[in-house]
Chain A
Amino acid sequence: MQRVVYIFIFLILPLYSLELFVIADKNFPESNLTRSEIASMFLDKKRFIKEEKILVMNHKVGTPLRYCFEKNILKKTERSLERYWRKAYYQGRRPPKVISSIEMLFLYLKSVHPSIGYTDSNTIFNKKVTILYHVICTNDF
């Protein structure tokens, strides 16, 4: 019986998980970034890489991708982020550019260098991008 339960969990898990990829344009100067380096870029603490200003892109509030990103990469709750951006605005910092679709993300990645964003595993196949980091978010979004 236990084996059946494990097999069931194994089969059902992918339906409730999301594999998130942090991606950058194909000529991005780094091919590997740590989680905290990525978080710094998305929190407007790190604006430059190899002396060039980075275009940072975020998804709309309320999307599963964004929830997964905030929880696993930024490691912040919605309340904590709200508080963070209120203070950041007063200090002259700005949140990342919000994109309205995955197509727009890839369009920017193709035309702006250096640029960074994130997407899920279903959309990166055959795309000329630099994969910087990946994380699996499970059934909590």
Chain B
Amino acid sequence: MNKQLFFLFFSILSLLFSKEESYGWDIPNSSLNIGGYLDITYDEKREDKFLFNDIAMLFSANKNRFDLLGEVELSHISLDGRSNNSSDVDLNLERLELTYALSDRQSIKIGRFNSDIGYWNQSPIPILQETTSSPHIVDNFFPKATTGILFQQNINEENSFSMTFQDNKDIAHQDGSIYINEHKALAYYGVYSDFSWRFSLGKYTENSNSRSDYMGIGSEYDGEAFSIQTEFFLQDSDKEDDKPYSGYIQSTWHLKNRQDAVVRFESYRDNELDVKEQIYLLGYIYRPTSNMALKSEYIYHSKLRLNRFIYSFSVLF
């Protein structure tokens, strides 16, 4: 496939379908909406420096008490000619979920969905985050996605909890994240004014039959001048290469109307790599429109030789 044409096609698409607040294309005379997102990254430590990290299509529809949501993702397309044989291009069903509202306050979801664990995992794509890189927690402590059932109960306008069950194979193929055939989790979410908090705990069994338990807390403050997000997770696993703890605190400072600065500090222990280290990140974000982001960041690792700059361009359309 001609990479330049591909890039041009998606860039035009993203500009055509970008509107304030509302994204995607509402198909006339139906409740169906089709949109998507893309992000291109430059990472100086990666073999494929320029990469179409993700190109995804999102589709959603609702009818009475039913909501359907899907996300199909094409990822890891190199922009410097390394993906010509397409062996490293990955097409994956990220989400396919059907939600039914049982009542004003209760809902049940079936399918493959983002696990309702922590803050970052609720919106794990670059356009929705303030940094291109993700904290260590994201891929290492709990399954990013669950293929099963999620029950959600809103206690009132500010507090809710959810229960997750999976006892079957994942319907998507393995993409490098934790690949499971069993997952049980409980999560609580509370809000007070500009402040919110999350508590999660769960257990999962990987396809290799190793079992892990995890527990995490997180909080977020979203103010006019700045925002702060923090998460801390503990893990207990029967694997020898487990990851006992990981946490981060990230603050975003709103410099000007569409410009932000971000700092993040992480600390974790990884027995697989036999390392206990800290990661420091300093970044800058420019959002020319509400659906576009240009980001640059420098990451400093205290132990691993992964210090580097990362640049990205991402769009939601």
B104 and A89 within 8 A (CB): no
B193 and A50 within 8 A (CB): no
B257 neighbours in A (Cβ, 8 Å) = 79
A46 neighbours in B (Cβ, 8 Å) = 104, 154, 157
Count of A-B contacts judged by CB separation below 8 Å: 70
B128 and A49 within 8 A (CB): no
B23 neighbours in A (Cβ, 8 Å) = 85-86, 89
Q: How far is the CB of B33 from chain A (nearest CB, A)?
A: 7
A51 and B104 within 8 A (CB): yes
B67 and A37 within 8 A (CB): no
**Is B241 engaged at the interface, CB distance under 8 Å to the other chain?**
no
Among B67, B254, B291, the residue within 8 A (CB) of A79 is B254
Q: How far is the CB of B57 from chain A (nearest CB, A)?
A: 12
Among A34, A47, A90, the residue within 8 A (CB) of B128 is A90
Q: How far is the CB of A59 from chain B (nearest CB, A)?
A: 12
Q: How far is the CB of A47 from chain B (nearest CB, A)?
A: 7
The residues in B between 36 and 79 inclusive whose CB is less than 8 angstroms from any CB of A are: 37, 58, 60, 64-65, 67, 69
Task: Tally A residues with Cβ within 8 Å of B.
Answer: 30
A89 and B35 within 8 A (CB): yes
**Is B272 engaged at the interface, CB distance under 8 Å to the other chain?**
no
**Is A14 engaged at the interface, CB distance under 8 Å to the other chain?**
no
Q: How far is the CB of B195 from chain A (nearest CB, A)?
A: 12
Docked pose: A47 CA to B101 CA in angstroms: 9
Bitwise, B86-123 to A at CB < 8 A (1) or not (0) is 00000000000001010110000000000000000011
Among A79, A80, A90, A95, the residue within 8 A (CB) of B125 is A90
Among A34, A61, A75, the residue within 8 A (CB) of B21 is A61
**Is B217 engaged at the interface, CB distance under 8 Å to the other chain?**
no
A80 neighbours in B (Cβ, 8 Å) = 222, 224
Q: How far is the CB of B127 from chain A (nearest CB, A)?
A: 7
**Is A94 engaged at the interface, CB distance under 8 Å to the other chain?**
yes
B122 and A53 within 8 A (CB): no
Looking across the interface, which residue of chain A has its beta carbon closest to that of B61? A92
A87 and B123 within 8 A (CB): yes
Q: Which of A81, A83, A86 has the most CB of B within 10 A?
A: A86
Docked pose: A107 CA to B290 CA in angstroms: 31
B103 neighbours in A (Cβ, 8 Å) = 48, 51
**Is B24 engaged at the interface, CB distance under 8 Å to the other chain?**
yes
With A48-B104, A77-B224, A90-B128 given, is the CB distance from A53 to B22 under 8 Å? no
B37 neighbours in A (Cβ, 8 Å) = 90
The residues in B between 1 and 38 inclusive whose CB is less than 8 angstroms from any CB of A are: 20-24, 33, 35, 37
Q: Beyond the given A80-B224, A91-B122, could you list 16 further A-B residue pairs with CB under 8 A, ordered by the A residue number?
A: A36-B158, A37-B157, A39-B157, A45-B154, A46-B157, A61-B20, A75-B193, A79-B254, A85-B23, A85-B290, A87-B122, A87-B123, A89-B24, A89-B35, A90-B125, A90-B128
